[in-house]
Amino acid sequence: MSKLPKQHVSIKKRFKKFLTAVNNLGTATRNAGPIDKKTSHLIQLSAAASIKSEGSVHSHTRRALEAGATTEEIYHTIILLTSIIGFPTVSAALSWADDIIIGKEA
């Protein structure tokens, strides 16, 4: 299992019931339909990039890799957004994904 970010650990300690509910919601939504775990994390990665959430890009990059996504699939997921969210936002999201990918490969 991957190391959780400090903020996540802090929230877990301070608001255990809240974080349990959030985690249960994530599980319920992934189990609500036919999309596999890897694809669901790639979809969530694209949404995270779209809202410029560095932490969520980190999380869903990590989780997509753990679910079997390749680095090429991660990068393609992000660059597909260029005509929608623009090059600067895509560039930022790629750098956030690299924080995980390069860290994982090192």
- 106 residues of the chain, pLDDT tens digit each: 457 778 888 999 999 999 999 989 989 998 999 999 999 999 999 999 999 999 999 999 999 999 999 999 999 999 999 999 999 999 999 999 999 999 865 4
User: Is the domain defined by 36-105 classed in CATH 1.20.1290.10?
Assistant: yes
Domain coordinates of the chain in residue numbers?
1-33, 36-105
C-alpha radius of gyration, the chain, whole number: 14
Half-sphere exposure of 56 (CA within 13 A, CB side): 14
pTM comes to: 0.86
d(CA 15, CA 90): 33
| SS3 of residue 25 by DSSP | helix
